[in-house]
Structure 1
């Protein structure tokens, strides 16, 4: 049956148009020259060591809380690129609709064509998302796009479609109207976003798991 645990994340990504567009991957740093100084006839090269994070395992952090946090970091690494792609796509779709002054019929066809292309290119990858990853993605979509998934479905499809998918979401303990709260329940997630934006997330991930994060694969035609 189609209604498995990964069905809602798949619906969120496809029906919210949250994937296509150029992948906003972190850019590789430009080549730089190392500083050096000559001291007593010897050349000494100077560089800055990437910081590492060390966290005390005190009595205030239970094993369950620690595992929950590590799971958040793992899930964030997997789904945040999709939220960034959703933002990129939303901008492209809005621009195309505006510049071409699409009427309702042409607009609907254009959006449906985008959805079918998404289904073809991303379905296999998205089907392996878990419920917790889908929940995190819903919140990150709101952060990046300034609109909840419910509002996006309503704008691009219809109020009826938004209500339908909200009903499906409730069956999986999710809410497409969820707002991102960087000062409250999403405070830890916001910290991860800030690390990502500063280019420090990979090192932070390594400090927790002792391995580099696996990158979310984006089809070459979107790169």
Structure 2
């Protein structure tokens, strides 16, 4: 039994090393990218390897220098079973809509973070307001043509995904940056189209299937 386990562990090690080698093929081909204090001709075990423009720790395996890195968690879901064709079509449509709106949600989240960090460097409220006005105009010019191409359901999904990426509803984001009156006005306008800026994202409740699709899209699995 012990001998059998040793064989299994050895094979798993070989498989893992093969996968790592495949993922890091540029590193294997570019043995010259060593740390500055280590020569490629040196017998000293390498502790760092450069994969330009990033730097990773490295280990020596049987005389070969292999870069090491942490890979993101990969979530494996059980296959879905659909009750009928209608449910399957709805899921396919959800995948399509997430692929279309999730990049926008991530862009918006990045802009919000960048705007907040930049505003922290401004000297007074007047300068902050001027910057907000510029950002509002930029966002309107940049995203209005794109938003017009979204369906009502895609618009509703986008607002939920903004909440997913920022942990704040669109209403609270506008309220924080531009004031409660403008947030109220925008929410009233959204309501005319059946949307609400106060929509929240619930990955463990009604949005659990959407969360599954988001994760699969982020992993490149769909």
**Shorter-normalised TM range:** 0.5 to 0.7
Q: Partner of 2:94 in structure 1?
A: 72
SS of corresponding position for 2:160: helix
Instruction: Map Cα deviations across residues 44-77 of structure 1 (whole Å, 9 max, x no partner).
Output: xxxxxxxxx9968x7x522222211111100000
Larger Rg: 2
Instruction: Map Cα deviations across residues 99-131 of structure 1 (whole Å, 9 max, x no partner).
Output: 223x22221211111222233333322221111
The answer to whether structure 1 residue 140 and structure 2 residue 161 are counterparts is yes
* Cα distance in 2, alignment partners of residues 169 and 121 from structure 1: 19
Alignment of 1:58-207 (within 5 A): 61-101=83-123, 103-197=124-218, 199-201=219-221, 204=222
Query: Across the two proteins, how many residue pairs are aligned to each other?
Result: 153
Once structures 1 and 2 are overlaid, which stretch shifts more, 177-186 or 163-172? 163-172
Unmatched 5+ residue regions in structure 2? 1-21, 29-76
SS of corresponding position for 2:206: coil
* Cα distance in 1, alignment partners of residues 148 and 135 from structure 2: 18
Retained in 1: the 8 A contact 2:147–2:155? no
Give me the TM-score of the superposition, normalised by structure 2.
0.62
Q: Partner of 1:32 in structure 2?
A: 25
Shift of 1:30: 6.7
* Cα distance in 1, alignment partners of residues 136 and 143 from structure 2: 10
* Cα distance in 2, alignment partners of residues 124 and 170 from structure 1: 20
* Cα distance in 2, alignment partners of residues 172 and 119 from structure 1: 18
Unmatched 5+ residue regions in structure 1? 1-28, 36-52, 205-223
